[in-house]
Amino acid sequence: MTTPTAVTAHTLDDTARLSGAADFVREQDTATLLRLLLPGLDGLELRALADRCHFAHAALLVCPPDESSLREQLAACGLDAYAAAQPSVVVRERLAVRHRRDAADLDVRILRPEVHCTDGERRVVEVFALAVPPGSELVEVAAHERAHDHEAHLAFEVDRPDPLVLRGLCETFAQHGAVADGGGYNPHEDGTVFYFTAPADSKAGYGRVELYASGDHRAVLTPHLAAYQARQPAETLLRLMTGAWTTQALAACAQLRLPEAMDAQGADRPRTAVDVGVLARAVPCDPENLATLLRYLAMLGVVTSEPGGFRLTELGVLLRADSHGSMRSLALMYGGAFYQSFALLTDAVRTGQTGFEQLFGENHFDYFARRPALAERFDQSMAASARMFDPLPLHPVIAAAGAAPGRRTVVDVAGGTGELLGRILAAHPGLDGVLLERPHVVEAARRHLDTFGVGARCGYVVGDFADMPAGGAVYVLARVLHDWDDDRCREILRHCARAMPLDADLLVVERLLPPDGSPSLATAWDLHMMCNVGGRERRADHYAELLDDAGLRLVGHSPLPLGASVLHARKAAPGAAGASGTSGTSEGEGRTS
């Protein structure tokens, strides 16, 4: 047991460290500190860094026995004793890994009391507070952290964060000896942090440095974390092995309708913390087991743990069935039939037969079609990714068709329940639409397109790709070609080419595999398509070859949300061969996202 005298000594130690950090922040400025931190910087590099980021704070971890003690320490250092506190994500995870603890058992908060600096700027001391009550088993953790100051660091905030600037800053730090030391995205404050170990010749007095960028920059963070994790392979591999647990935790959250129970007032109302016992009665389920699930969901950022219980985050709201852009159906699909068939991934790689067919005896289209409830969920899951469609109604090809005199038609090929077609027609009153789909989907599409108020401008063709409607101005293949092998794709594209007038356009929406092997959603979906569907994702030049074989040419492509792209194709000139080959950003179209 820790004695009251020891607790007081620790409190005094934390107070002295807080005071020292506040003095450091008060006396420094950006350019001086950068020269100390990265002694090898030349004048041009220093100016470039100082123009793109500024010294924001010094940080440290303290371990008060309770919140009132923490507030007293802040006041003793002349810092705001009432500074707002919010949950930590990144530091909590680092502590959990370092001390082999369950992150859910670590109550770490972030406070940022302001400091008035000698250069007239306003900066903060970033305080990570790990609650360590007297007698707690975390006393040894606190002693280790005070002795080693692992979380003490300097932070520079990026002024105008964008991917190019962030990559450049990370590269400059690395070139001058700073080594990647973790980081993460904090959904509670919508900010991304990049941690580095300071260079060996640094004279700044802090062993770690942070770059902070407001917003979600996980695409830039991924290679930074990869460099960090390469130095600790066993822990990295262990975390990767538990990915299936995450899938099932999200599916269980959706299946139990926890988001609805936590947000009983509705998705658009203010969210408050809900006691586990209250939630357990509302769901209903075992309170102790529910608490275990909620702690894991808190680690994922789906909920937050607060004194009054658990509160739903913006991430968690997307698992509500009635939220805008709900992804509940996707969670249920990936945690249901597709999750089961992924157990046969090894056999799929060995035999070339999809895991889904081996498990269920038929392809997923036929399996779902004969089970109405699953078919409806599958269609809903497809609509759940509709955010990738947001820029498409403004695509230059569609905009031009909508502005042309007379009535022109958009043909949505295998367009599901008509989510994309409805968006296009709602944005362009001068356009009509035709949806080609299977019989059971067409009925659902009629109802869905009526909700857009465009049902009267839609025609419906029940059939297969061979029944492609002729005479359209714009043909759309959204997330269709990745379902099929190359031969079937060529056949589908030839049906399009035969139906298209000479001046018609084809828009293909797919996730494109990166040409350089960089991390992407397309790489993950490529594995999913192989195991569960029998299709594949492709590179842009691969699609160009398929289009060319069908008598079409790729004009260009441009990005969409959720890792997707839209490829624009037209009919090749009569007698032209090998007309495709454009695999960069579209010519003359501009970017659509």
Question: Can you tell me whether residue 344 is helix, strand or coil?
Answer: helix
Distances from the Cα of 299 to the Cαs of 86, 91, 100, 245, 272, in angstroms? 14, 12, 15, 12, 18
Q: Answer positive or negative: Cα dihedral of 150, 96, 58, 212.
A: positive
Q: Please spell the DSSP secondary structure of 43-81, one letter per residue.
A: HHHHHHHHHHEEEEEEEEEE--SSHHHHHHHHHHTTS-T
Give every CB contact of residue 121 below 8 A, 6+ residues apart in sequence: 29, 54
Q: Answer positive or negative: Cα dihedral of 218, 224, 228, 233.
A: positive
Q: What are 510's strand-pairing partners?
A: 565
Q: Quote the CA–CA distance of 413 and 460 in Å, as a whole number.
A: 11
Alpha carbon 380 to chain centroid distance?
20
Print burial letters for 548-578: b (CB count within 10 Å at least 16), e (below 16): bebbbbbbbbbebeebbbbbbbbbbeeeeee
| Contact predicate 131/65, CB 8 Å | yes
Q: Residue 206 — φ and ψ, nearest 5°?
A: -125, 140
Q: Quote the CA–CA distance of 500 and 502 in Å, as a whole number.
A: 6
Helix (H) or strand (E) holding 328: helix 328-334
The position carrying tokens 């950003």 is: 585
Alpha carbon 311 to chain centroid distance?
20
Q: Which structure tokens are listed for 384?
A: 């759940």
Select from 95, 64, 70 the least CA-distant residue to 82.
Answer: 70
Distances from the Cα of 440 to the Cαs of 139, 379, 446, 465, in angstroms? 62, 11, 11, 16
Q: Quote the CA–CA distance of 238 and 229 in Å, as a whole number.
A: 12
Catalytic residue among 10, 224, 364, 482, which?
Answer: 482
Q: Please spell the DSSP secondary structure of 555-574, one letter per residue.
A: EEEEE-STT-EEEEEEEPPT
- Residue positions counted in the chain: 593
Residue 10 bears catalytic tag: no
Q: Which structure tokens are listed for 458?
A: 């839609």
Select from 571, 558, 587 the least CA-distant residue to 506.
Answer: 571
Q: Which structure tokens are listed for 445?
A: 């599409």
Q: Angle at CA 285, nearest 5°, toward 284 and 291?
A: 120
Q: Quote the CA–CA distance of 12 and 5 in Å, as a whole number.
A: 11
Select from 117, 111, 114, 93 the least CA-distant residue to 103.
Answer: 93
Just list the catalytic residues: 482
